[in-house]
Structure 1
Amino acid sequence: MKRRALGAFGVFMAGAMLLAGCGKSSSTSSNSGAKDAKKFPEQTAMTTAKSGGSITVAEETDTPFTGIFNDELADTAPDSDVAQFGDEALFGTDDQYKINNSGSATFKLNRKAKTVTIEVKKGVKWSDGKQVTAKDVEYAYEIIANKDSQSTRYTSSLADIVGLAAYHSGKAKTISGIDMPDGANGRKVVIHFNTMKPGMTQSGNGFFWEYAAPYHYLKDVPFSKLKSSDKIRKNPLYYGPFKVSKVVRGQSVTWVRNPYYWRGTPKLKKITISVVSPNTASQSIKSKKFDVINVVNSQWKEVKGTKGYNFVAKVPLSYSYMAYKVGKWDKKSGSVKMNKNSKMGNRYLRQAMAYAMNIDEVEKHYTQGLSFRVKTLIPEQFGDFNNSKLAGFPENLKKANALLDKAGYKKKKGETYRRDPNGKKLTIHLAAMSGSPNQEAIVQNYIQQWKKVGLHVTLTTGRLIEFNSWVDKIENDDPSVDVFMGAWSLSSEPSQDDMYGAKAPFNFSRFATAENTKLLKEMNSEKSFNHAYRVKKFHEWQAYMQKEAYVVPMYNSYSITAVNSKLVNYSLKPSQSGLVWYKTGFKK
């Protein structure tokens, strides 16, 4: 259900996507699934829908969602998924994610004045009937930048807004670079920047926020208590087509029509989204338990002939990865503090682990062509920004062994595993998420691959880790984690500062090098308004990241969604992301 323009949110920590599509082993290495997926449209029939009716939607996860109903504080895909029916971005986009004025606010960029002007449309109201105001737009920045809120959304990208860094550090009580020319209760906001960036016309660029927060409703809640407040967890306000009716914490959310929705009355009367285990997804489809449900890719053969559904599909902006902990997050400075003497600090060790993995073999064995190895950290959907010349890390045990030998990781006579260059025993602790039935088998497969090159890798805690616990360990730099496997749902603008910058909380590997900072800066410099120059810098960065291997890309997968054949106007297209739940309904 990560079908929205996730770029409008920025990035999200997804569940164990790399293996979530893996179930029973396929008896062949057929690519029939990919062939099927390529045939499917990105939307159902787009026609007139009747008013009324209720639907059920599946949120496939083996763990409860945390239920943070606030864009500035939420950072996981499940929370994004369950909020999508009421949550609406300020801006609409075209199918290439370029911002236009079709959404709840208009957008105007002035490169010379170094400003972006946002004007909320008249009649855009919160679900309590209050007009969305300039203060609501500005207040979202306060939540993000105030240290007490503990938002992970404050980044060096946003810090280029005039006065935001001063507010974040406590040196200023207000954000000087955000003007409200018609007053706090007006609808216009002018944001001033120190520098203008080439990606600013794209949704998800990370240089300004694309949501508002209800100041009148939340202003009495201290920033330190916002995340746990009932106004966030149980009774949130949204200005999208639906409003929260009931929350069963971690399990389901019931949405009913927002009577004040600015576009008009949504077609559907009620939507209930409920957690379902990926293990039982195929049974849920065959029994018609849900009206909208994602297909677990390894179960495609089991469900492909199911009547009563239309299937829509696309390759999402996402990927799974493996990353190495080489430092910690320094809360005081709000930046990465790299430890060059860390266990995983040796580049050749990182590269060797990557080359030892048999990702292509796993893809062929466990999916039907619906998953595939990703070669760089900039997916192919980003067009010429993707460095297609890079091979990534195909399995090469000979190369892995040579790299380890070169780096001084040697075995003592009679021992199975290599020691570190100082001659000490080496054990590498891997944090991998729980997920589908074969997740354990696949992770153990990689552990055996590493054993083949003499590396002793064990699971942190001795087992796969539940998603929310995994997030806690990774965010807080738990010392029991040396290596971890995760997944990103990506922004729709390819800038990388928010994930891999020195001041990015999402830089979970905690690496910070002068070269990385330089390349990230060059990607979004004035020179990068020249497209060819920007492409060159993206290619250089991808090559640098492959060389250093702090983060190793693994998989992406086709995303197939089963939609009740009686429903119309359901779409995966970016241009429809703000309209889909307003338009979706039962055919007449």
Structure 2
Amino acid sequence: MKKGKLLGSVGVLTAATLTLVACGKSNTKSNEGAKTASKFPIQTPVKTAKQGGTLKVAEVTNTPFTGVFNEELQMDQPSADVTSPGQESLFDTDDHYKINDKGPATLKLDRKAKTATITIKKGVKWSDGKQVTAKDVEFAYEIIANKATKSQRYATQFNIINGMSDYHEGKSKTISGIEMPDGPNGRVAILHCKELKPGMYYSGNGYIWEMAAPYHYLKNIPFSKLESSDEIRKKPLFFGPYQVKNVVRGQSVTWVPNKYYWRGKPKLDKIVYQVVSPNSASQAIKSHKFDITRVTNSQWKQVKDTKKVNFIAQIPLAYSYLAFKVGKWDAKKSKNVMNPHAKMGNKSLRQAMAYAMNTDDVYKHYTDGLSFQIPTLIPEPFGDYFDKSAKGYTYNIKKANQILDKAGFKKKGKWRTNPNGKPLTINLLAMSGNAIQQPIIQNYIQQWNKIGLNVKLVGGRLTEFNSFYDKVQNDDPKVDLFLAGWNLSTEPSQEQMYSEGTMSNYSRFVTPENTKLIQEMDSQKAFDHKYRVQKFHEWQKYMIDQAYVVPTKNDYRIDAVNSKITGYSLKPSQTNNGHQLWYKVGYAK
């Protein structure tokens, strides 16, 4: 699972970080936790906040954060989380994620002229006091599109902007489709596009990048060295409410107010993000070690009676999934290429493995229903884009065996062979997490063993988060399938995750039908909402049938917040880039 960013979402993708699978033991298959969480508020009680105070926030993860403090290069959720006090998107939204004029910049779309005009407000300044400029908008696109940065954010989706493809391929030194009518130091950037898309009115659409990067601060660093530079790792600039005071690499970040913040002085004197192991999270909540801590769902029963905290909850735009590796990323051509001889290329094998997973029982057992199986790759919070009729892959061992028998995967002793009679060993990559991650993964392996499939963990054990994504992104040949997850963009276009031209399509599947459906859901016809909904439903049915990527679960996201805190909210209009708008958070008077 990645925002996990892969994170997150505001910009392109909220990409995809893995939300670590969280589970703990209970003896019942219960939904009591989910029933409770469904009644929790989405924000803290509204009170007047006083000036001052230090806020301590737990970053619940079992691995150090990578510490890439730049949205264009950042792909892991923990880094996105700890960056959030400074990171601010160019645009604010309403509670339906529609972009409005209340943020640092405004967006004007002209379908006839095929332009998107971004105008930065006067007084929106970097934490060194410099005005955010049109060049800073353009520079963010350059970081993403220049191959030397190796940004995972680039997708052919961006080629909708004129000249983007030529820049990405090194045929041009500038992006011809980005116009700065008042010059690089002006506040207006006009994107000249091949066409406008229906999602462009909403945050997270993947066509319009919603961040800016400080050109004056980073311009002398070669693109190839940008990610490792001190300016990105230790002393980053932001135009959000807070600025970095200190970084303990991989462990903590201390933030203090950005005195140039355009909305005025934030409430707090200091925000400290500190990494905490998932196994220690419940104790941290009960001992009030932090002011804000994400609840590890498997530990819910341990923390639910804690006094002096407000539990804030939502079902986020996110999901975990099982993906089958069927190809590779071709960096030269910037596209995914399927391998016609891939071990996991047989649809029957993929479908059988999906039916053999007892996902619903597992998460009822370990999380009291706070994590729950989902049927499709478009989660229910997306409203009518979600296909309510989709059944997905519910647990059915008998059906799994029948599918394998019919497809010619015959048993030879304990294990099934390939249809050609050769032995079949399947290598699973799974991420380490909290104490009950191991038994959950072993459970799935046992389920696959029951249908005669010899499934083994890559390296014989669970893999640490950063190493896991290195193997997934670089198409490690030892990996046949993997369990991961996304935090999603707030606009449901699938171009940025599952198209031929996005690195984030980690399964590497490419089919004419998938390409056609993804293009149709973002086409000019899709300005008609009914048509767009229809295409989303068709795509979900297709993806369920093909089973290249099979959704497993979503989770209630519950935060334990010090009862003295006000201004903390998970409402879309009160968040930015998928994170809290920290300037509003403070201690109540």
For the aligned pair, the TM-score class normalised by the smaller chain equals over 0.9
- The share of aligned pairs that are identical, in percent, is 61
Query: Corresponding residue for 1:585?
Result: 586
* Residue 202 of structure 1, CA deviation: 0.6
SS in 2 for 1:7: coil
> What is the 5 A alignment of 1:327-366?
327-366=327-366
Alpha-carbon distance in 2 for matches of 1:328, 1:28: 42
SS in 1 for 2:171: coil
Query: Corresponding residue for 1:428?
Result: 426
Could you report, residue by residue, the CA deviation over 1:505-537 in whole angstroms, capped at 9, with x for unpaired residues?
A: 000000111111011100111111111111111
Alpha-carbon distance in 2 for matches of 1:511, 1:6: 23
Q: In structure 2, give the amino acid aligned to 1:271.
A: I
* Residue 28 of structure 1, CA deviation: 2.0
Could you report, residue by residue, the CA deviation over 1:423-476 in whole angstroms, capped at 9, with x for unpaired residues?
A: 111100000000010111111111111011100000001000000000000000
Query: Corresponding residue for 1:310?
Result: 310
> What is the 5 A alignment of 1:259-270?
259-270=259-270
Partners of 2:226 and 2:232 within 8 A in 1? yes
* Residue 302 of structure 1, CA deviation: 1.0
* Residue 2 of structure 1, CA deviation: 9.2
Alpha-carbon distance in 2 for matches of 1:9, 1:235: 24
Query: Corresponding residue for 1:551?
Result: 549
1:440 to 438, 446, 449: 438
Query: Corresponding residue for 1:369?
Result: 369
> What is the 5 A alignment of 1:95-494?
95-412=95-412, 415-494=413-492
* Residue 407 of structure 1, CA deviation: 1.4
Could you report, residue by residue, the CA deviation over 1:210-259 in whole angstroms, capped at 9, with x for unpaired residues?
A: 00000000000000000100100000000000000000000000000001
Could you report, residue by residue, the CA deviation over 1:306-352 in whole angstroms, capped at 9, with x for unpaired residues?
A: 11111110001100000000000001100011001100000000000
Partners of 1:69 and 1:79 within 8 A in 2? yes
Query: Corresponding residue for 1:538?
Result: 536
Alpha-carbon distance in 1 for matches of 2:534, 2:484: 28
SS in 1 for 2:56: strand
Unpaired segments ≥5 residues, structure 1: none
Query: Corresponding residue for 2:9?
Result: 6
SS in 1 for 2:415: coil
Query: Corresponding residue for 1:521?
Result: 519
Partners of 1:427 and 1:456 within 8 A in 2? yes
Partners of 2:19 and 2:486 within 8 A in 1? no
Alpha-carbon distance in 2 for matches of 1:15, 1:139: 28
Query: Corresponding residue for 2:496?
Result: 498
* Residue 369 of structure 1, CA deviation: 1.5
Runs (4+) of structure 1 exceeding 3 A deviation are 1-5
* Residue 5 of structure 1, CA deviation: 7.5
Alpha-carbon distance in 2 for matches of 1:584, 1:16: 24
* Residue 16 of structure 1, CA deviation: 4.6
SS in 2 for 1:539: helix
* Residue 195 of structure 1, CA deviation: 1.4
Q: Sort the Cα spacing of 1:34 and 1:2 in 2 relative to 1 into closer, same or farther, 3 A.
A: farther
SS in 1 for 2:198: coil
SS in 2 for 1:140: helix
Query: Corresponding residue for 1:28?
Result: 28
> What is the 5 A alignment of 1:45-60?
45-60=45-60
* Residue 488 of structure 1, CA deviation: 0.2
* Residue 9 of structure 1, CA deviation: 4.9
Q: How many residues are paired up?
A: 583
Partners of 1:31 and 1:369 within 8 A in 2? yes
Q: In structure 1, give the amino acid aligned to 2:419.
A: P
SS in 2 for 1:210: coil
SS in 2 for 1:237: coil
Could you report, residue by residue, the CA deviation over 1:387-422 in whole angstroms, capped at 9, with x for unpaired residues?
A: 11111100111111111112111112xx10000011
Q: In structure 1, give the amino acid aligned to 2:446.
A: Q
Partners of 2:12 and 2:153 within 8 A in 1? no
Could you report, residue by residue, the CA deviation over 1:47-103 in whole angstroms, capped at 9, with x for unpaired residues?
A: 220000001101010000000000100011111101000000000000110000110
* Residue 6 of structure 1, CA deviation: 2.4
Partners of 2:8 and 2:16 within 8 A in 1? no
The TM-score normalised by the length of structure 2 is: 0.98
* Residue 32 of structure 1, CA deviation: 1.8
Q: In structure 1, give the amino acid aligned to 2:520.
A: E
Alpha-carbon distance in 1 for matches of 2:51, 2:391: 51
* Residue 371 of structure 1, CA deviation: 1.1
Alpha-carbon distance in 1 for matches of 2:487, 2:404: 33
Partners of 1:295 and 1:560 within 8 A in 2? yes
Alpha-carbon distance in 1 for matches of 2:106, 2:66: 32
SS in 1 for 2:38: helix
SS in 2 for 1:46: coil
Partners of 1:16 and 1:433 within 8 A in 2? no
Partners of 1:522 and 1:528 within 8 A in 2? yes
* Residue 184 of structure 1, CA deviation: 0.3
Unpaired segments ≥5 residues, structure 2: none
Alpha-carbon distance in 2 for matches of 1:15, 1:175: 32
